[in-house]
Structure 1
């Protein structure tokens, strides 16, 4: 298993400038950071105390108040008002809209639709019969008539068509082909050659202008910027980076040292507070209040508690005796007015006495009854 700690970074050799900067910077930063760290630790302790004693109880109280004012009324409104009203409205919508719509669809629209579909099928069948038995024969006859007329007209106009084709060939096609071959094609090639030459000349001119602009920009901008970066900005940046790195490391080191100092100061203050306040209070509680409390408990509280228990016991016994007396007097008065109550007749159920076990001789089953 690999270690969780990162491997230590290799220390690079440091120059005299880094060493000369590190010590005074660390001293100054430590002097400046220690008060800040102590104030920060004090604020952290105060914030934790306020969080545990003020903000958390206040947040719980505000949460309870928010629930009581916003959540519970809406829950009650939803549960006891909106849901019953919604159920009633749903029932009314079902009774007033859905059931009539289903009845209308089932007993009115469906039969009407079936009748309309049957009528449409009947009309379609009639139109198909008219198309197949009437229109198709008429159309076939018209087509045959037109074919015959076309054949007659073609036989009559064949000679005229041949003459017109010969005239069109020698009056239009042959002159147009010769014009394209001997005039338009050479002119087009010459124009294309001129355009290519002009493009080559423009490309050569653009290349020359681009090379000139490139070398001008290189000499006037790139080389000075490169020299500035290489001989000025890079060394200054390395020095500033070294200073910033050392300042950052120094701040981190000073923050850790200040934390240890703040922790030591806090522990010292805690020890001083314990010696000044806690230990005296504990000593007083242990050596004074505890014995006094024991004496008060043994000499006062326990006798008082025993007396109170005895008084309570006597009061309970007196109440019990009074209750029994009142019950007996009420029974005597009832007996005096109405006489002795009639006792129920005893019935032999052949059951065993109170806690005796059942035997075969005293069984009450039908098979073993005497």
Structure 2
């Protein structure tokens, strides 16, 4: 793993302090960032699973009650509270601002302007005419010296340290991402070979043939026997119904006797050859 970074084009030449500071900073930052990046990637994966498997279905289930609650409860309640707040708070505040605070503020502004123009400005000019030379010696020159000889070098050193720490953080974060990806892929491969592949092999090699054998040896004969039993039961039930129907008919004949047969009514026209025809001059009514 390359922790060194080539100097970017256009950057000023780096000193020995920067070069000596870069490698330890990057090592320390890398050691600290790798666990954070792995935890971050694990949280991202868990968050995506939680979003897709739990939150989206739960949101779809709760969408209608929430919409109904918002439409029929919260919106009317919010409108009522808005009207009440406008009547009890906004209108009195507007009236107070317009008729009390605005005139008072204008009066205070006029008074302060007069005080600044007539009192503070002459007094400030007098004080500055007395304190400018003394202030320059006591304040300005020491401040310039501290700025030039203390703050500027310290600021440059802090800028270098901050830049190196930022570069180290970015480099460590990218490398940690690659390591986290490799660890995730390794764990996925290990999970597949430990659990998924044995289960697939067991399903394909053992359970599927056993299922076929059970289907051909047990389930199909049992289904055939069940169909035969059902057919026999249906036939027996049909025979029993017929026997009951016959018994009822015999019992009715024993109590009430044979029912009278109704003779069919005589037809107006004789059957067979005696039937009226369109091509004959004789009919059944005129024939001797």
Instruction: Report the Cα distance in structure 1 between the residues aligned to 2:206 and 2:122, rounded to whole angstroms.
Output: 112
Which residue matches 2:209?
A: 291
Which residue matches 2:34?
A: 34
> How far apart are residue 32 of structure 1 and its match?
2.8
Alpha carbons of structure 1 residues 341 and 207: separation in structure 2 relative to 1, 3 Å = farther
Query: How many equivalent residue pairs?
Result: 196
- Structure 2 length normalisation: TM-score? 0.53
Larger Rg: 1
> How far apart are residue 35 of structure 1 and its match?
3.1
| Alignment counterpart, residue 309 of structure 1, candidates 216, 227, 232 | 227
Instruction: Report the Cα distance in structure 1 between the residues aligned to 2:122 and 2:239, rounded to whole angstroms.
Output: 135
Alpha carbons of structure 1 residues 261 and 342: separation in structure 2 relative to 1, 3 Å = farther
Alpha carbons of structure 1 residues 43 and 204: separation in structure 2 relative to 1, 3 Å = closer
> How far apart are residue 39 of structure 1 and its match?
4.0
> How far apart are residue 42 of structure 1 and its match?
4.3
Q: Which runs of 5 or more structure 2 residues have no equivalent in the other structure?
A: 1-7, 70-120, 266-288
Is residue 238 of structure 2 the alignment partner of residue 320 of structure 1? yes
Instruction: Report the Cα distance in structure 2 between the residues aligned to 1:246 and 1:255, rounded to whole angstroms.
Output: 14
Instruction: Report the Cα distance in structure 2 between the residues aligned to 1:209 and 1:30, rounded to whole angstroms.
Output: 58
Alpha carbons of structure 1 residues 209 and 265: separation in structure 2 relative to 1, 3 Å = closer
Is residue 13 of structure 2 the alignment partner of residue 15 of structure 1? yes
Q: Which runs of 5 or more structure 1 residues have no equivalent in the other structure?
A: 1-9, 72-202, 347-370
Which residue matches 1:257?
A: 175
Instruction: Report the Cα distance in structure 1 between the residues aligned to 2:31 and 2:199, rounded to whole angstroms.
Output: 38
Is residue 139 of structure 2 the alignment partner of residue 221 of structure 1? yes
Instruction: Report the Cα distance in structure 1 between the residues aligned to 2:232 and 2:51, rounded to whole angstroms.
Output: 51
Which residue matches 2:191?
A: 273
Kindly report which structure 2 residues correspond to 1:1-370, keeping only aligned pairs within 5 A, or say none: 12-17=10-15, 18-42=18-42, 45=45, 51=50, 56=54, 207-331=125-249, 333-334=251-252, 337=255, 340=259
Runs of 4+ in 1 over 6 A off after TM superposition: 203-206
Instruction: Report the Cα distance in structure 1 between the residues aligned to 2:47 and 2:10, rounded to whole angstroms.
Output: 42
> How far apart are residue 240 of structure 1 and its match?
1.1
> How far apart are residue 264 of structure 1 and its match?
0.7
Instruction: Report the Cα distance in structure 1 between the residues aligned to 2:180 and 2:163, rounded to whole angstroms.
Output: 25
Which residue matches 1:360?
A: none
Instruction: Report the Cα distance in structure 2 between the residues aligned to 1:14 and 1:309, rounded to whole angstroms.
Output: 93
RMSD: 4.1
> How far apart are residue 248 of structure 1 and its match?
1.9
> How far apart are residue 213 of structure 1 and its match?
1.9
Q: 18-27 vs 279-288, which deviates more?
A: 18-27
Instruction: Report the Cα distance in structure 1 between the residues aligned to 2:122 and 2:226, rounded to whole angstroms.
Output: 124
